[in-house]
């Protein structure tokens, strides 16, 4: 086994920069030993939307960002022996793998592609059973039929896929740190119950999973936390030893910063209990972790401890939750704030008569938007002292009754001529809403599968 495994981040979410992985691949290609490029592209809502997309198109449902993220680096990775692991398979990992295979064939390459599937448990429990397992809420009360129900799978199936020779591993819903831990289990041969090493690999995955957040992206706050060259921020690379210690760094010549502060901030990001961060593979204890700078943009991380994995697995269950209606209109010039306030009052009064009971939110973007309340008190207070000459009003409401929402949209558009003066730039839209709930489910409900694409193709042909 090689002493050091290098793993680079290609994306921290589906909308990430499409060219972000290029410097990372250049750095990995110049190194020896096992090297991996990982892509984290899934969120709860993203996966639910992918499930809906697959309903309409059996060959859809994988991340629409897949092609853009891989186009600039796929061939380089294959030629340099850099193996790719990504959850861009979303609700249809097999179709995502086929699309990557087609991209590779078009470039004259024939990689071995593995598919990790089995996260979908929507058909394994009744709506009532999901509701009974909901954790920390009652969104599933009344037992609505799930749009999606996906378990966070652990790292072992990824390791198995790599053990079987895969150049590319395409997964669906998987625990984010598992994208890094899987390659480490494969490359270092870590045992299933070597809790401290699994914890260290999980920590490395947690630091890399959000891409450039650890190298200054989410850290940047002018006047408080300066980050140079943010327009070309470098995405992180971890160098992990067999004992679990690792260094976080980034490609030379890229912007951003990696130091104790950026690493510690990302280490605590989305951590509920630093002594017990629950993952499918291990319970990570951060309380003894040591973070030390080892050179420019190089931070050494040691001391992660692990405890036996949880008995249950987390599943995200998404259900339909009506429709969100949004409409916007602008007022500009002298008296803009007063005219915008009058427009808000007009729409509020008319809807109170025409659609009683509709909860309406009104924001004055740039004046009072992020911290507004649906009753309008904050908005009224903001307008009271506002001399703004450019106000964009946003009206929003949600309901399962489309007719009510169309009336709200119509009222905003009617402001064009019904007044007040000078309204312009109306935009209106309806967006289906999804609510997500967390459930804890028994491990025996989940049966992850690992399939090599060429094997799947031969079986289909026979």
CATH code for the domain in which residue 414 is found: 3.30.70.1120
Residue 347: CA count within 13 A, CB half-sphere: 32
> Would you state the pLDDT for residue 1?
45
What pTM does this model have? 0.92
- Which pLDDT tens digit goes with each residue over 182-201? 999 999 999 999 999 999 99
Give the model's confidence band at 280: pLDDT under 50 very low, under 70 low, under 90 confident, else very high. Answer: very high
Which residues span the domain enclosing 355? 317-438
305: how many CB neighbours lie within 10 A of its CB?
19
What gap in Å lies between CA 166 and CA 158, rounded to an integer? 9
> Would you state the pLDDT for residue 389?
82
Last residue of one domain, picked from the residues 250, 283, 310: 310
Whether 250 and 397 map to the same domain: the answer is: no
Q: Of 325, 329, 326, which is closest to residue 393 (Cα–Cα)?
A: 329
What gap in Å lies between CA 237 and CA 50, rounded to an integer? 29
CA dihedral sign of residues 301, 304, 309, 315: negative
* % residues pLDDT > 70 (the chain): 93
What gap in Å lies between CA 413 and CA 407, rounded to an integer? 10
- Asked if 276 contacts 287 with a C-beta cutoff of 8 angstroms, the reply is no
Whether 321 and 306 map to the same domain: the answer is: no
Whether 302 and 404 map to the same domain: the answer is: no
Average pLDDT for the chain: 93
Give the model's confidence band at 45: pLDDT under 50 very low, under 70 low, under 90 confident, else very high. Answer: confident
Whether 416 and 376 map to the same domain: the answer is: yes
pLDDT at 19 > cutoff 80: yes
What gap in Å lies between CA 185 and CA 171, rounded to an integer? 17
Q: Helices 93-106 and 453-461: crossing angle, nearest 10°?
A: 100
Last residue of one domain, picked from the residues 284, 310, 336: 310
Structure tokens at 421: 């003066």
Whether 324 and 400 map to the same domain: the answer is: yes
Whether 176 and 223 map to the same domain: the answer is: yes
- Which pLDDT tens digit goes with each residue over 57-96? 999 999 999 999 999 999 999 999 999 999 999 999 999 9
- Asked if 421 contacts 80 with a C-beta cutoff of 8 angstroms, the reply is no
Whether 339 and 391 map to the same domain: the answer is: yes
CA dihedral sign of residues 452, 458, 461, 462: negative
Whether 216 and 356 map to the same domain: the answer is: no
**Domain tally, the chain:** 2
Whether 75 and 205 map to the same domain: the answer is: yes
């Amino acid at each position: 086994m090689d002493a050091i495994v290098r793993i680079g981040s290609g994306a921290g979410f589906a909308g990430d920069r499409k060219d972000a992985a290029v410097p990372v691949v250049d750095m990995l290609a110049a190194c020896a030993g096992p090297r991996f490029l990982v892509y984290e592209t899934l969120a709860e809502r993203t996966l639910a939307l992918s499930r809906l997309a697959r309903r309409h198109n059996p060959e859809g449902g994988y991340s629409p960002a897949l092609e853009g993220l891989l186009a600039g680096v796929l061939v380089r990775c294959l030629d340099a022996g850099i193996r790719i692991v990504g959850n861009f398979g979303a609700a249809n990992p097999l179709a995502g793998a086929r699309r990557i295979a087609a991209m590779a064939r078009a470039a004259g390459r024939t990689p071995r592609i593995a598919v990790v599937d089995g996260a979908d448990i929507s058909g394994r429990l009744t709506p009532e059973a999901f509701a009974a397992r909901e954790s920390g809420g009652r969104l599933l009360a009344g037992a609505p039929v799930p749009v999606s129900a996906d378990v966070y799978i652990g790292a072992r199936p990824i390791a198995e896929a790599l053990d079987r020779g895969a150049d590319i591993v395409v997964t669906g819903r998987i625990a984010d740190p598992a994208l890094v831990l899987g390659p480490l289990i494969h490359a270092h041969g870590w045992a299933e119950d070597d809790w401290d090493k699994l914890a260290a690999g999980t920590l490395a995955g947690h630091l890399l999973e959000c891409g450039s957040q650890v190298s200054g992206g989410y850290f940047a706050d002018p006047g408080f936390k300066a980050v140079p060259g943010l327009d070309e921020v470098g995405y992180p690379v971890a160098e992990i030893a067999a004992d679990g210690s690792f260094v976080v760094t980034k490609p030379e010549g890229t912007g951003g910063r990696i130091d104790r502060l950026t690493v510690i901030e990302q280490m605590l990001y989305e951590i509920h209990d630093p002594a017990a961060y629950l993952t499918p593979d291990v319970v990570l204890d951060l309380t003894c972790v040591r973070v030390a700078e080892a050179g420019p943009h190089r931070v050494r991380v040691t001391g992660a401890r692990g405890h036996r994995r949880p008995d249950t697995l987390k599943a995200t269950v998404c259900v339909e939750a009506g429709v969100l209606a949004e409409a916007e209109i602008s007022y500009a010039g002298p008296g803009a704030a007063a005219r915008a306030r009058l427009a808000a009052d007009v729409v509020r009064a008319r809807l109170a008569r025409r659609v009683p009971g509709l909860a309406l939110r009104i924001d004055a973007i740039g004046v009072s938007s992020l911290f507004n309340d649906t009753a309008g008190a904050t908005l009224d207070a903001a307008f009271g002292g506002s001399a703004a000459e450019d106000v964009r009003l946003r009206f929003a409401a949600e309901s399962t009754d489309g007719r009510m929402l169309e009336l709200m949209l119509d009222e905003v558009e009617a402001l064009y001529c019904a007044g007040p003066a000078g309204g312009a730039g109306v935009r209106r839209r309806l967006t289906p809403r999804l609510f997500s709930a967390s459930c804890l489910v028994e491990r025996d409900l989940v049966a992850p599968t690992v399939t090599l694409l060429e094997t799947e193709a031969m079986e289909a042909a026979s």
